[in-house]
Chain A
Amino acid sequence: MKTDVLVIGAGAAGMAAAISAARNNVRVVLVDRDERTGGVLNQCIHSGFGLHYLKEELTGPEYAERFSSLLKEYEIDVVTECCVHTIKPNGEAILISPSGVHEIVSKAIICATGAREKPFGSLMIPGDRPSGIFTAGVAQRYLNIENRLIGKRALILGSGDIGMIMARRLTLEGVEVACVVERLPYPSGLLRNVIQCLEDFNIPLYLSSTVVEVRGKERLEEVVVAKVDSEHKPILGTERTFKVDTLILSVGLIPETKLLENVVKRDPSSEGILCSSVAESSAEPIFAAGNCTVIYDFADYVTIEGEKAGKYAALYAKGERFDRGIPITRGENIGILFPQRWAKDDDLILYIRSARPMRKAKLIVNSFENTFEDITPGEMMRVKVPYRHLANCQELIVSLREE
């Protein structure tokens, strides 16, 4: 099998990338390991998608269906139930599916493999190992796709968006949610969700707190919560016990990039694929977009980045080559930064998470300056730095100077 652009993953990023590449008149093959396209959008039945990109607010499935109809329209070769076994930097890949093991050669490859959830085991919470502990995505899939309830009384660890959304979902379905517990002194998801998922239902949110023990002989029976200090260490004597049969974890996402671990450069701590501003990875024909590069807040941004990757991968497939670019590095108060190189082509769109909350700060990128208010790491910033501020640089340092 030969093609111009192979897209791995048909979630928000992959679908957008495939359509954008097809619009640039190249042959596209889109593969996904699930039985349908859409990725996690299919199980995100809440609204919050499309505002930036489509100028209307949609639920996840509606957003997914917009793109899946476009896949048909552009006659993109969509292969579901298909996993990628290996990828080589020369564009060769091996695909495994129930219909067979296929070799494919593609001029460009776009990795859009999304992220996995941080598992319970990684938290090293002492206690028993009962059933009844779920990451929020798994709980969401059980409820929204498999039509199964996962318990009668739940506690949620982590005030990320998915955790708060599950708090509301469970409550509406008659599951008692005892509380949401958050390690940081501020909610880690959107404030909008604090209101419409927690406050609306009188679900308590305990900040600066964490789960210090789980108990249960076979199924979960109790969860012990304690307050934590500024270094996230539990404070003795502040323990409270909650009798719940379900613990839901929303404690972070990790880019799922093992497939490319020996092929492209990844961020050593986040495992995200390092990219330039034209979505190119460190290995030329391989591009990447979406949560496998950096964890986004909004599917809309994922779509935009996916589109960008599709466009540039298509151009690459047609013979264009891009400047390896100059490094973009994290300066003062910057926690997460994407992309990591500027290909000197155009205005630079940066995605930034601050290292800590700040009431007011000035974002500085070379000669570009802009002031922002109410900055929190839980809300990603998307900033356009015009070309004229970047010309003639050897290196770009991005900083947030508190005021």
Chain B
Amino acid sequence: MKVTVIGAGVVGSLIARELSRYDLELSIIEQNLDVGWATTKANSAILHAGYDDPPNSVRSKFCSKGNSMYTRLSEELDFEIKRTGSYVAAFNNEELRTLKKLLKQGRINNVPDLEIHERETLIQREPELNPDIQYGLWAPTAGITEPWEVAIAAVENAVANGARIILGEKVVGFEKRRSKITEITTQKGVYKTDLVVNAGGIFADDIAQLAGAEYVPLHPRRGEYIVLDRKPGFAVKTVIFPSPTAVSKGILVVPTVNGEILLGPTAVDLSSDMKNSTRTTKEGLNRVMRSAKFLVPSLDFSRVIKTFSGLRPESPQKDFFIGASKRVPNFINVMAMRSPGLTAAPAVAEHVVEEIIQQKLKFKLSKKRDFNPKRSRIKRFGELPPEQWREAVRKDPAAGKLVCHCNKVTEAEIVEAIRRGARTLDGVKFRTRAMFGRCQGGFCSISIMKILKRELGIDMSRLRMKSQNSWIVSGKVRE
């Protein structure tokens, strides 16, 4: 049986990984040149505890369950999570009432160990918080991760278990027979399929329309972010939220897995024709600065190393839209995976494969006997103690050649990233954290280009930053 997952973001990849447990022909089709490059790589990277979701919503069914699944998932797929816990800040009694509502909601959603802390505890735990803070809703199960790494890991594991990943191809049409889909057409190829899972992110409604299936209209919700470099002597240990409004969870202060500080996002609804508009704006960045500074007044903006924006797929219902299509019997929608999409993804993946595909649609799937749930990430030599690093260099001198000095990434890791599918500068960057640090590629990008050229055997002018036309160098200075 042929199953195709459209979209290799964190949702599509985890669904694919679940599917790869079973005996079937699995393909993943992704329009970008690498996995996890749309919403997945441009969000707050938070594993939400689950108190934010209204108890009768679809997302409430998956958020706290997904949150708890990340512990085992991160061990199996070897990506990093940190259970930092989170605080929702209240500066007055009205906001305290909001905290109490969230607390109540969280308990209904089975979110464990929620507590409201008072100012003294808050300042003790987070000395950099605005001293005017009165209360905070403490959620110990909240955490942070690297969302693109989740997608990369899930796809690697799916591929190791027999899946095929097709990159750089956009779905442009479906062939049907008796209202069932038989083929998927991209700009480059035609693929036979018996079952389609639509995890197309912000474009999922377009894909559903092409298939003739039901959908909810999606529009992009832009969120702008600022990243601050690590600063000696300054730390924010937990995820800090302001009190939420009707509009959004607000602009947060989030430690990252690497110790940087992520500020954002804004929440601006754009029209549906702006699905590629990952621009930042003056107003957006200023708003992030102002709001973040209100929560943590000592933030040092001379340490900004990067700004970016991400688009979340928002629907009018502000909820996930997951289900088998009635009109197209072999088409499953997994769309509008807006916040807490990342957190919910593992639980959604399980639900799609077990409850929708097997129970509801009654596809008979048999488990592979040789399914290997474990995937190892690219070994980070820079994190080894010197004696172990010495051993590694003896076996492979490239493990002793540092390329990215800011994050201590060696040539061996970059070569491995290319072996695992990186074809672009960003592909290397997201698999190794090279170019992520304080110099933002100033020292290492040329070296990485040379390694890509050597390993791929192509001219430098054909190398790309991320997409088909994002060329970096043109011709030669001297022929």
The reply to whether A and B meet directly (CB within 8 Å) is yes
Across the interface, A131 reaches (CB within 8 A) one of B285, B406, B470, namely B470
In chain A, positions 336-356 with a C-beta closer than 8 Å to chain B are none
* Contacting residues, chain B, for A97 (C-beta < 8 A): 393, 400-401
* Contacting residues, chain B, for A394 (C-beta < 8 A): none
Q: How far is the CA of A128 from the CA of B224 in the complex (A)?
A: 12
Interface residue A85 (Cβ < 8 Å from any Cβ of B)? yes
Kindly supply a per-residue 1/0 record for chain B positions 339-373, scoring 1 wherever the CB is within 8 Å of any chain A CB and 0 otherwise: 00000000000000000000000000000000000
Q: How far is the CA of A370 from the CA of B314 in the complex (A)?
A: 67
* Contacting residues, chain A, for B387 (C-beta < 8 A): 101
Query: Would you call A94 and B469 a contact (CB within 8 A)?
Result: no
In chain B, positions 79-106 with a C-beta closer than 8 Å to chain A are none
Interface residue B466 (Cβ < 8 Å from any Cβ of A)? yes
Query: Would you call B446 and A100 a contact (CB within 8 A)?
Result: no
* Contacting residues, chain A, for B302 (C-beta < 8 A): 269
Q: How far is the CA of A142 from the CA of B475 in the complex (A)?
A: 11
Q: How far is the CA of A400 from the CA of B229 in the complex (A)?
A: 34
Across the interface, B470 reaches (CB within 8 A) one of A83, A98, A219, namely A219
Query: Would you call A124 and B285 a contact (CB within 8 A)?
Result: yes
Whole-angstrom distance between the Cβ of B67 and the nearest chain A Cβ: 30
Whole-angstrom distance between the Cβ of B300 and the nearest chain A Cβ: 9
Whole-angstrom distance between the Cβ of B71 and the nearest chain A Cβ: 32
Interface residue B274 (Cβ < 8 Å from any Cβ of A)? no
Query: Would you call B386 and A94 a contact (CB within 8 A)?
Result: yes
Subset of 19 A-B contacts with CB under 8 Å: A33-B402, A83-B402, A96-B389, A98-B393, A101-B390, A101-B400, A116-B438, A119-B306, A119-B441, A121-B305, A127-B280, A131-B470, A137-B442, A141-B446, A146-B450, A147-B478, A148-B461, A218-B470, A269-B302
Q: How far is the CA of A85 from the CA of B438 in the complex (A)?
A: 17
Query: Would you call A219 and B285 a contact (CB within 8 A)?
Result: no
Q: How far is the CA of A334 from the CA of B412 in the complex (A)?
A: 47
* Contacting residues, chain B, for A199 (C-beta < 8 A): none
Interface size, B (range):
35 or more
Whole-angstrom distance between the Cβ of B168 and the nearest chain A Cβ: 13
* Contacting residues, chain A, for B232 (C-beta < 8 A): 261-262
Question: Known contacts being A129-B278, A152-B474, is A98 close to B306, with CB within 8 Å?
Answer: no
Whole-angstrom distance between the Cβ of A80 and the nearest chain B Cβ: 11
- Closest partner residue, chain B, to A215 (CB atom): B279
Query: Would you call A149 and B474 a contact (CB within 8 A)?
Result: yes
Query: Would you call B476 and A96 a contact (CB within 8 A)?
Result: no
Whole-angstrom distance between the Cβ of A163 and the nearest chain B Cβ: 15
Interface size, A (range):
35 or more
Across chains A and B, which 7 residue pairs bring their CB atoms closest together, nearest first? A121-B306, A119-B440, A98-B397, A131-B465, A101-B390, A131-B470, A218-B469
Q: How far is the CA of A269 from the CA of B279 in the complex (A)?
A: 30
Query: Would you call B393 and A101 a contact (CB within 8 A)?
Result: yes
Whole-angstrom distance between the Cβ of A260 and the nearest chain B Cβ: 11
Interface residue A73 (Cβ < 8 Å from any Cβ of B)? no
Question: Known contacts being A100-B394, A130-B470, is A121 close to B282, with CB within 8 Å?
Answer: no
Whole-angstrom distance between the Cβ of A283 and the nearest chain B Cβ: 15
Query: Would you call B476 and A147 a contact (CB within 8 A)?
Result: yes
Interface residue B378 (Cβ < 8 Å from any Cβ of A)? no
In chain B, positions 271-304 with a C-beta closer than 8 Å to chain A are 276, 278-282, 284-285, 302, 304
